[in-house]
Structure 1
Amino acid sequence: MTNDRLISALNDLIQISKDGEKGFRTCADDAAERHANYQELFMARATEYAQTVLDLQDLVHRLGGEPANHSTFGGTLHRQWMLLKSAIMGLDDAAVLGECERCEDTAVHVYRQALGQDLPDDVRLIVERQYQGVLLNHDKVHSLRNRVRTRNAA
């Protein structure tokens, strides 16, 4: 893999991680009004993503590249749409968790794409560790969403 392609792949991960950080912060703000336990979970996930961004930006710097410092355009649009939808219609817990899960699905996809490339061993170790964290985030949110849906159905 060329250095430019490697930097591009890492910048994709930075952007999707910034989406995760901002998305979980938005969810934490929304949950603050209703569920402190969700707020703590979402803030912890946002903090994990913030650290992921710093680690990836450091890698890009070490490779001589310019690290991305913004989220994806699609992620920004999605967050704005969710804020508008929440303000107009309100969102229940299952909907908020469903949106978090959908965002995590995207992160899983982007990480899998990166891991499908010919990464240097040291970079692969970091990306694989971060990918495992994304999977844990996804599974936790998925489990919470299912629990809320079951509770709402009862």
Structure 2
Amino acid sequence: MENKKTVSVLNDLLQITNDRIEGFGKVEGKVWEKYPDTKAEYDRMISQSKMMKNELINLINEKGGNPHDSTSVAGSLHRTWIDIKNSFTIGNIEESTLSNVVFWEKAAMEAYENALNSGDLCQKSSDVLTEQLHSLKISHEQFKKIEEYKNN
């Protein structure tokens, strides 16, 4: 297994993790006003994402790679689209925000699953990513339940 492939896979996940951090940071204050019980979960997910980011950077460095510590183009475009959409939305930005969190958590899980199935990872990287994927699944389920609860 080549370090170059491993580093490439890890850098893709690093960008996705940075997208998560950036996305959570853009959550409207209105969400906290209407659903104060979700703020603690968002804060936990931001902290979790920062720990995941550090783990990914460490793995990349251990493989002799250069961490691409930025967001992805797709993530940047999505956040811009959400900003535009929210500027024209009359009504429930809060539910839209929760839906977007669920959508992006699912996308992150799929990226992790693809990385784990790629065959391009060493055992240590696979172990770390498996643990991170488990955390993503828990977060996804929690926000899916919050979204369903808020929509009823």
TM over 0.5: yes
Is 1:125 aligned to residue 127 of structure 2? yes
- TM-score normalised by length of structure 2: 0.91
Contact 1:11/1:68 (<8 A) preserved = yes
SS at match of 2:81: helix
Q: Which amino acid aligns with 1:142?
A: K
Question: Using CA pairs below 8 Å that are at least 6 residues apart, which structure has the higher relative contact order?
Answer: 2
Instruction: Kindly state the Cα deviation for residue 29 of structure 1 after the two structures are TM-superposed.
Output: 4.2
Q: Provide closer, same or farther for how the CA distance between residues 124 and 30 of structure 1 changes in structure 2, counting only shifts above 3 A.
A: farther
Number of aligned residue pairs: give it: 150
Normalised by the size of structure 1, how large is the TM-score?
Answer: 0.90
Distance 1:105 1:86 in 2: 21
Cα separation, partners in 2 of 1:116 and 1:85, compared to 1, 3 Å: same
- Runs of 4+ aligned structure 1 residues displaced above 4 Å come to none
Within a 5 Å distance, the mapping from 1:105-144 to structure 2 comes to 105-118=106-119, 119-144=121-146
Say which SS state the counterpart of residue 60 (structure 2) adopts.
helix
Task: Give the match for residue 74 of structure 1.
Answer: 74
CA distance in 2 between counterparts of 1:63 and 1:39 reads 36
**Identity in percent:** 22
2:29 is aligned with 1:22: no
Task: Render the CA deviation track for 1:42-76: whole Å, top value 9, x for unaligned.
Answer: 12111111110111001101110001111111111
Q: Structure 2: which 5+ residue stretches go unaligned? A: none
Q: Distance in 2 between matches of 1:55 and 1:29?
A: 29
Query: Are 2:105 and 2:136, in contact at CA under 8 Å, matched by a contact in 1?
Result: yes
The amino acid that maps onto 1:108 is M
Shifted more, 86-95 versus 45-54: the winner is: 86-95
RMSD after superposition: 1.5
**Unmatched tracts of structure 1, length 5 or more:** none
Structure 2 residue aligned with 1:65? 65
